[in-house]
Structure 1
Amino acid sequence: MNLQSPKVKVSKSPEAVFNVLSDVKNFESLMPENISKFELLEDDKFLFALKGMPEIVLKKKEVIPPNKIVLGAAGGKIDFALTVNIDNIDDASSEVQLHFTGDINPMMAMMIKNPITKFIETLVTNIPQNV
Structure 2
Amino acid sequence: MNLEGRKIIVNKSSSELAEMLKKPEDYKDLMPDGLQKFEVKDNGFKFGLKGMPEIALKIENVSDKEVVLKSASSSLDFALTGTMNPVSVNQTEVQLLFDGKFNPFIKMMVEKPLQNFINSLTDKIEQL
Pick one of 118, 124, 127 that aligns with 2:125: 127
Pair 31,125 (structure 1): closer, same or farther in 2 beyond 3 Å? same
Which one-letter code corresponds to 1:54 in the other structure? P
Say whether residues 1:101 and 2:99 are aligned partners. Answer: yes
Q: Sequence identity, in percent?
A: 39
Question: Which residue of structure 2 lines up, in the alignment, with residue 51 of structure 1?
Answer: 50
Given that 1:62 and 1:71 are in contact with CA atoms closer than 8 Å, whether structure 2 keeps it comes out as: yes
CA RMSD, 1 decimal: 1.2
Question: Which residue of structure 2 lines up, in the alignment, with residue 29 of structure 1?
Answer: 29
**Off by >2 Å, runs of 4+ in structure 1:** none
Q: TM-score, normalised by structure 2?
A: 0.94
Q: TM-score, normalised by structure 1?
A: 0.92
Question: Which residue of structure 2 lines up, in the alignment, with residue 111 of structure 1?
Answer: 109
What SS class does the counterpart of residue 66 from structure 1 fall into? coil
Residues 64-121 of structure 1: CA distance to partner in whole angstroms, max 9, x if unpaired?
Answer: x201111100115211101111111011111111111010111111111110001011
CA distance in 2, matches of 1:27, 1:122: 13
1:18 positional shift: 1.4
1:128 positional shift: 2.9
Q: How does 1:67-82 map to 2 (within 5 A)?
A: 67-82=65-80
Say whether residues 1:41 and 2:41 are aligned partners. Answer: yes
CA distance in 1, matches of 2:77, 2:122: 21
Structure 1 gap segments, 5+ residues each? none
Q: How many matched pairs? A: 128
